[in-house]
Amino acid sequence: MVLSFLMIRVTKGQDVNNAIKGKVLNVFIDKEAIDEAYMKENFIIVNYVRDPVIADVQILVNTAKTGSGGLQYNLVFLGKNRFSSLNDTIIFHLPCDETTEKSRKDLLEKIKLGLVPFLMKTPSANRLFIEIDSYAPQPREEKDSWKNWMFEVNGSAFLCNEQLTKSFDIMGSLYVNKITPKIKFESLNQFNYGECHYSIPVSNTDFEYINMYSSSFYSGSLFVKSLGNHFGIGSFADFMKNQAYNIDLQMGIGPAIEYNLYKYADAAHKQCRILYSLVYKHSNYTDLTIYNKMNDQLYTNNLSFNYKSVNKWGDFCATINGSSHLDNFSYYSLGATALTRITIAKGLSFDISVGLNMHQNLIGQRKGFATLEEVLTNQREIESSYDYSFRFGISYRFGSIYNNTVNPRFEY
């Protein structure tokens, strides 16, 4: 027998906001991953609370992009308080061409199914109806005429004119991939061209004109071969042209290997990946560099450490990376970033992000000093040995925890 769908009805005329408060299931769900208004309007048998501390069920919504461009959803149902002994996980996929209406409907149906064990222990249990289709045909595996290949083409143009400023941008990209359990191939190709023209009044009748032109192109490809539950081996190749970075044409290619301390199957919840690559780079420069060169041939080794964890108290991710030239280790770069979101107590949460980068390998910079126009219009890379960032945020919410009302009036 195949479970075809779950039907949940609420007694006609019943106001869930006032009915059996304290006995209705309190649910906290990641609002960024769902359409909150749609949930409240179409599933009114539970209370949507504003804080995980007071929830009976906390739903973690993790997503991962599939090879076809769709999403794999991992719904983790964590029982809390009176339901602390109940936990479950539902994994399902939504295709990339799914409409918004169909996607949010399918997501809601999966959330309903996951909440059944919890609802069975509430007074709402006598209003659950499950229909089982005994004659549903077994799903057939359809043949894929594209052999797992996926293509995505994007293009856009932007024009903005004012009395003293005119700007124009055109952008395009082509993304290709083939992803199977055994191999992964991705190729991203992008180009951009832009113009900005400024007319700056210097007197009642005279103007100073500043014209800015920018162009860039990037093509990067990746191939990975899966080696069990923890290892992957592959190679990188990329081509780049960027006027602002003094690169007329740059080519990079090399092998790489990665080890994940956890199983790749658990990557949506936790991952700890160590990636090493050895890259050969050939660079032709637009102008003479600070080292009096018009081209370079370099070998670099790169090491990165990536950690991610999604938990009921919040989530944490961090990256540490380093790179150096093989022939001269004094040319190096080091960087680290970290982000965490933590729920401290009822209604109180905070998030912190930090980043630090040290650069001692910017050997392609143009010789000479940048003009004021080049600095203000980002037409030229400025020499810098480091950069850092820090962000701290805190929020506290209080008030009604049972307001499930939706009122979309005057929304933009």
User: Which residues are CB-contacts of 35 (< 8 A; sequence separation ≥ 6)?
Assistant: 100, 104
Q: Can you read off the two tokens belonging to residue 348?
A: 């109180």
| pLDDT tens readout for residues 334-378 | 999 999 988 777 767 788 999 999 988 777 777 766 666 666 666
Torsional class of 13: left (φ above 0), alpha (ψ -120 to 50), beta (otherwise): left
Residue-level pLDDT at 6: 46
Decide: 366 and 290 in contact? Cβ < 8 Å: yes
pTM above 0.75, yes or no: no
How many residues are given for the chain?
412
Helix (H) or strand (E) holding 107: helix 100-119
Q: Please tell me the predicted confidence (pLDDT) of residue 282.
A: 94
Q: Residue 60: what pLDDT?
A: 86
Burial 58-83 (b: 16+ CB within 10 A, else e): bbbbbeeebbbebbebbbbbbbbeeb
Average pLDDT, the chain: 82
How many CB atoms are located within 10 Å of the residue 41 CB? Answer: 13
Q: Identify the segments of the chain with pLDDT beneath 50.
A: 1-6, 8-21
End-to-end CA distance of the chain: 46
> Which has the closest alpha carbon to 71: 27, 28, 110?
110
pLDDT at 146: 82
Q: How far apart are CA 34 and CA 402, in angstroms?
A: 19
pLDDT number for residue 68: 67
CA distance 124 to 121: 8
What pLDDT, on the 0 to 100 scale, is given for residue 10? 46
